[in-house]
Amino acid sequence: MLLQRTIFKKLVHGFLNRIGSEHEAYMKIVVQGGNDMTMGLAGFSPPVLCERIVVSAPEARRFTHLFADSPVNCRVEIEPSRGDVTYAGMFSGCTQLNAQPIVNMSNCINAAAMFKNCQSARFNLFELRHTKKVRNMRQCFAGCTSLSGNGLQAWDYSGLVGADAMRNFAGGTNFPSRFYDNILRRWHEQARAGVLPTPMRGVDMGGARYSPAVADDREFLVQYGWDISDGGEVPYTLSALEKEFTRSIDDRLESADFPGDIDLSPVARSARNGILISPKHVLYVRHYQPAVGQSVSFWNGETATVQSCVAGDWDVAVATLAAPVDVRPALVMPADWKAKMPTMYGPPSSYPDGTNPPMLWVNRLNEVGIWDLSYANNNPAVCQGVMPSDPLRARHFRGIGVGDSGSPVCCVYGDRLVAAYPLAMSTGSGVFTGAVYDWLHSVTNGTIESV
């Protein structure tokens, strides 16, 4: 398909090719000579089948508002120019743009309003990170109401020129706190290194909220001379249970008595690990459930034999022992866990960075490590462990090794382990015991005890 379009009285040739289903449909627009692409494709609507647009204008120096107000929603690739270029407003008003742009920012000197009013803008910005030459980022993401934000933490802001170079940078935006936290960390890193220009007026970050963990970094930037406006600190209220989980570990860390008197005896040290949840029942993952007749050894050395094993609908299984053991079982999460622990967005909290209750990871090699609880969701109910941001906890962090399936990840209540979930995947997740409480109650004949 041949497209002919006149830009600044120059004939531009484009084409749309599809060669078999394994190739993408794409269009290439080539401009011979000329240094100004301003408004060149404003309002341009690519063909329905087009998956990629390549713009080749190696002599161009200005791409100002190139695709302004275009309904483009495919991958746009700008072939690098041979010198310094301006991308100001290049995608402004492209409200349907959700595909990852491929733009070499190494020679960009002006990115003002580059993605202004793009609204959703749900694409990764990491590949655009080579911004050391950029002097102006005013309104770069203003009006991106659902900006993902991922990748901005890697941008280089050292080339900005003038106190208004970041004015209304992201006004009207709303992107996740974890992304904004990392943007603040990046600014703080460059400020501490003395390469972040200052003062900087009117740095509007829209409704983005920052976590308590970066509050000091943000204050440093304010004192450094950056006039930042945003949605404020993330509000949160930990439940009584969450506070107890935190105290049970953090108090021991503060007193250098970790793990101290925490009762680790219910941890099974055989059959890909597991954890005793009643005098006769051990919780495992289904994909490594023990065989009948298999011996189980607990942390304190007591042994038992598996009499039977039943698998759940999710990746959990419960083994019944031939005889009860003297080991004190771990607790499990309660059936009403949703009212006491977080889902992705609460209640009672969404765990801003630095406030997560700590969790113990215990394995068959006598290793005890710490993670932070991030959230539990519903489909299926999984609880995701993340590396602690607190330095004191991070000292005891341990990664995941092959063959750790079934290792219990636990909260701590006083001196007792609370089985949050048996480790199911190397990402640190597993089925939250509170989500399968009724099933656990049934297969253990009501002998489990919740926190």
Read off the pLDDT of each residue in 380-404 and give the average, rounded to a whole number. Answer: 81
Q: What is the pLDDT of residue 380?
A: 73
d(CA 284, CA 321): 13
Share above pLDDT 70 across residues of the chain, in percent, rounded to a whole number: 91
What are the pLDDT digits (tens) for 256-273?
A: 999 999 999 999 988 788
* Res. 343 pLDDT band, cuts 50 70 90: low
CA 201 vs CA 140, 156, 160, 377: distances in Å: 15, 18, 12, 40
Token readout for 333 is 């999460």
Read off the pLDDT of each residue in 224-242 and give the average, rounded to a whole number. Answer: 90
Share above pLDDT 90 across residues of the chain, in percent, rounded to a whole number: 61
Q: In the Cβ-directed half-sphere of 243, how many Cα atoms lie within 13 Å? A: 6
Comparing 31 with 414, the larger pLDDT belongs to: 414
DSSP per-residue letters across 301-342: S-EEEEEEEEE-SSS-EEEEESS--SSPPPEE--TTGGGTS-
- Other Cβ atoms less than 10 A from the Cβ of 394: the count is 12
* Contacts (Cβ under 8 Å, ≥6 apart) of 371: 358, 359, 360, 361, 385, 386, 387, 388, 397, 409, 428
pLDDT at 375 exceeding the cut of 80: no
Task: Note the pTM of the prediction, 2 decimals.
Answer: 0.66
- Length of the chain (residues): 451
d(CA 297, CA 366): 12
Q: Where are the domains of the chain?
A: 240-266+329-443
Amino acid at 245: F
* Res. 211 pLDDT band, cuts 50 70 90: confident
Read off the pLDDT of each residue in 366-375 and give the average, rounded to a whole number. Answer: 85
d(CA 347, CA 156): 37
Q: Which of 368-372, 377-381, 414-418 has the highest mean pLDDT?
A: 414-418
Query: CATH topology for 240-266+329-443?
Result: Thrombin, subunit H (2.40.10)
Comparing 415 with 364, the larger pLDDT belongs to: 415
Q: What is the pLDDT of residue 33?
A: 76
